[in-house]
Structures are given as structure tokens and as C-alpha cells.
Amino acid sequence: MIRPFLIILSAICMLSCNAATEPSDDRVNSLIEQEDWFALDAEYASLRPRIKDKTVRLTADAMLSYLQNKPHKAVAYLDTLLNRQFYHRHREAYYSLSMLRCRMLNKVGRYREATMALGKMTQERKAEGASEQDWRPLEDFQAQNKWLDQLPAPSLQRTKNDVSVPFTLQQMQARNQDTWVEKAKKDFKGYLLTVKTYVNGQPLQMAFDTGASKTFLSEATAKRMGLRFLPDTITLNGYQQARRAFVDSLRVGQITYHNLIVYVGISSLNALIGTTIDAVLGLDFISAVSETQICFDQRRLIFPAQQTPLPASGRNLYIQNVPYIKANRGNEQLTFVFDTGDTTGSLYYKYFDRHRSEVLQTAERDSIAQVEYGRVYIREVYMLPRLTFTLGHTPVDIEQVYVDPKPHGWVSTADGRMGMDLVHRFRKTTINMSSMFVSIEQ
């Protein structure tokens, strides 16, 4: 359940045209323009002291803080960067980065501050004589945000000890009798990991889904629980109308996440597939707890009190609305969306385009059914017999991985997606959103 999130980096990359002609400045600008965040992170410690242009350094500092789940630091860097001089020199980048700042303010619960900033930017855009397509997104964002102004900021409360909770595996199996779904029954395979939670004190089974940027509830579930709905509607995934609701408390074991805003409006998938999943525990909670260990041998989720040290292989994770992990296939670096709400591994057009000859020689044509935001659709693909790579220093071997031979916009920066098809093969998977790594253990 991945919702695309587009940041207008082309506006930021105009900095490269104005930065001092220093090799370090040029290299940083090039990596930002390419959105090669893993390379930027790996090289930045050595490049940063040699950067001459303060604007380049602050832009890189802000972007890395945002991508590495450090919203407070991202806001601080952007507060320094987004002055009037920057506005006059790089106007489009100013607005793009200001929008990012408002999203980070929302993440830490500074809603009113974000609303006021959006109102100011809207007025500035109109005063500049900008077209409606330039100021309308700001005005719409402000209108949505004003409903949050009086809400308290989110906060996490937990015991000082490790928190361990059991999980269950919910089988995915098609049951709709329509011919086109029947044809693709085999594609609704695998399992989703679900965990018992308490929403405002009421028990609710939720799917553990790193691919969902927000916690989701079906409309029927939200109404049954008596959640307080916000008055507005929003658009998810470019086509589905949804609502937002306020949750006083979301408890998992001895961890309680207070003052959570959830998305509501995803229809129950029961009419299409054999599940009873009406709620998704999303990245907002998962990133707030910092570290989750999926222990398949024990069938438990562990939220440790003491963080696992960064492995020798280093950081291999960043978050750009959803988590991305770095893997290696020989000398080739691969980037995957890490989505535990997805049961089967897949490779995107970017991978197909780079390995077209290999795929055409070794893979068979096939079609799959996919579920996303309550919608089922058929996609023509190639099916690779297997895919091997390493994550950290651990080898991975996955059979039957489909390859998408057509581009689909936002996924073009990643090579594919890995979720439960990866996780279930290993005794333990550690997801650390403080030191930013995913590690797997046999």
C-alpha cells in the first residue's frame, strides 16, 4: 500500500547552476539532482568540510535529516536556509523546500506554525502574480492543515524494558468469483503480519505495514470505534477520496502512541480477497518507536529498549514517505521500497530497462493481480525464476519475482519492492529508524 510522495527536486537542483565551481559543491549538487541519497550519505562526511557554498551545505543537511527520520533537525536546517536572500536567488526552490518544512512541522505536531507559513506563502505567490497552478496547492494545503491547528502534538509513551508482542500471519487468498480475478488467484499469495492493538482502549487487529506512510482504518471500523473525524476530505493515491480522524491513543503492548491522526476511507478488502484486515499499522507508529525486530522463529514483534548498534555494513535505509533499502547484486547497487504490506517481491521498470536482455532470455510472460488502496487490477509482467542479492552482508535468494516491463511514474527511482517475501525467509529482521538500517539474520 504505497502512496506516492513527490518532492519537486528539479527546483532544488537549480542550485548547481549557481554554486561555486568547487568539486565538492558540484558533487553534492549532482547527487541531489540524481536523488542518489545512499551515495550522498556515504560521501557527505568527507565532502561537507570542503563545501564552499553555504546554500549547498544547508540543502544537503536538510535533505539528509528529512530522509533519515530526523524532522526536528530538518526544520532547523531549513529555518536557517530559507531566508529572504535565498527567496530572491532561488524562488522555486524556496517554495519547494518551504512545503517540505511544513510537512516536517506537521510530523512533529507544530500544526499551527505550518498553517501560518502556508498562508504566508499563498499570499506571497498571489502577490508575485503567479499562476493558479503555483498558488493553489499552497492554499489547499493550508485549508487542510487548519483543521489540525488545535490538536495536540503526537507523543510516545513506553516502558523502559523491551516490549514483546505476538503476531499472527494472515493469509492472502482471492475469493471473488469474477473471471479476471479467478485467473489471478495464485497472485493473492503469501501472508501479512498482523498484531493486536488497542485504539482508544478498544482491541483491533492491524497489519504491520511499513509501506503505509500513515496508519489506516476502514470507514466501518473507524465509525464503530467512534473516532472523531476531521471535517475535510483528502485524495489518496491520486484517485481515492478519504477522510482523517483523530485517535487519542494507539497501544501496542506497553507502548502507547498518543494524539495520532489516521487516514480513513480504504474499503475493506474482504469482498475481493480472503482477509479480515480493516486496519493498517503504518510508518507513523513504526518510525516513532525507532526500532522493531520481527522474530519469525518466535512469531513475535520486539520493540527493544536499547537500540541495536549500526552494523558494520552501515546505513542502508532512508524514508521518503515510504522506506527505501539498499541491496547489492554483485557490483550493482539496487534500491527497493521496503513494504511489509506487500506479500510478493517485485522489480520495477527501472530494473527491466537495465537488464532487458537478461529478463527476456530467462523470464516467462505472465499476468498478476495487485491490490492497492482497495482496488484490484491486472498487470502484464515477466516472471523471473529467482533473484539473488545481498542485504548488508547477508545473501538473499527469492524465487518467482515478477518484473514490470512498463514505466509507472513515481516508482522510477527504485529498482523494485521487497516485503514479506523477504522477511519471512529469515529468523529475525531488524528495522531501525534511528540509525537507519534494515538487517536480516538466518
pLDDT, tens only, 397-408: 999 899 999 886
Domains plus CATH for the chain? 9-108 (no CATH), 155-290 (2.40.70.10), 317-441 (2.40.70.10)
Strands 163-171 and 191-199, sheet pairing: antiparallel
pLDDT digits (tens, 9 = 90+) for 91-140: 999 999 999 999 999 999 999 999 999 999 999 999 999 999 999 999 99
b/e sequence 154-181, b meaning 16+ C-beta within 10 Å: beeebeeeebeeebeebebebebeeeeb
pLDDT of residue 1: 38
d(CA 340, CA 338): 7
pLDDT of residue 406: 86
pLDDT of residue 120: 97
Measured torsion, CA atoms of residues 172, 175, 180, 186, in degrees rounded to the nearest 10? 40
Its pTM stands at 0.90
How many other C-beta atoms can be found within 10 angstroms of the C-beta atom of residue 394?
Answer: 15
Q: What's the distance, CA 173 to chain centroid?
A: 25
d(CA 119, CA 215): 27
Helix locations, 35-188, DSSP H: 37-47, 54-67, 71-81, 84-89, 91-107, 111-127, 132-145, 179-183
C-alpha distance from residue 331 to each of 180, 317, 328, 334 (Å): 40, 19, 7, 10
- Which residues make Cβ contacts (< 8 Å) with residue 398, sequence separation at least 6? 345, 386, 387, 388, 418, 421, 422, 425
Do 441 and 394 touch, CB atoms closer than 8 A? yes
d(CA 304, CA 258): 19
Q: Residue 441: helix, strand or coil by DSSP?
A: strand
Which residue has cell 482508544?
200
Q: Strands, DSSP E only, in 152-252? A: 155-158, 163-171, 191-199, 202-208, 216-217, 228-236, 240-252
**pLDDT per residue rounded down to tens, the chain (442 residues):** 333 334 444 445 555 555 456 899 999 999 998 899 999 999 999 999 999 999 999 999 999 999 999 999 999 999 999 999 999 999 999 999 999 999 999 999 999 999 999 999 999 999 999 999 999 999 999 999 999 999 999 999 999 999 999 999 987 655 444 444 444 444 445 788 999 999 999 999 999 999 999 999 988 899 999 999 999 887 766 556 789 999 999 999 999 999 999 999 855 545 544 455 789 999 999 999 999 999 999 999 999 999 999 999 999 999 998 999 999 999 999 999 999 998 888 999 999 999 999 999 999 998 876 655 445 567 789 999 999 999 999 999 999 899 999 886 545 689 999 999 999 999 999 999 999 999 999 9
pLDDT of residue 186: 45
pLDDT of residue 367: 80
Q: Name the residue type at position 122.
A: T
Do 126 and 135 touch, CB atoms closer than 8 A? yes
pLDDT of residue 344: 82
d(CA 8, CA 26): 20
Do 32 and 243 touch, CB atoms closer than 8 A? no
Q: Which residues pair with 241 in a beta bridge?
A: 235
C-alpha distance from residue 326 to each of 29, 46, 315, 442 (Å): 21, 21, 9, 19
Do 222 and 261 touch, CB atoms closer than 8 A? no
Do 215 and 281 touch, CB atoms closer than 8 A? yes
pLDDT of residue 2: 36
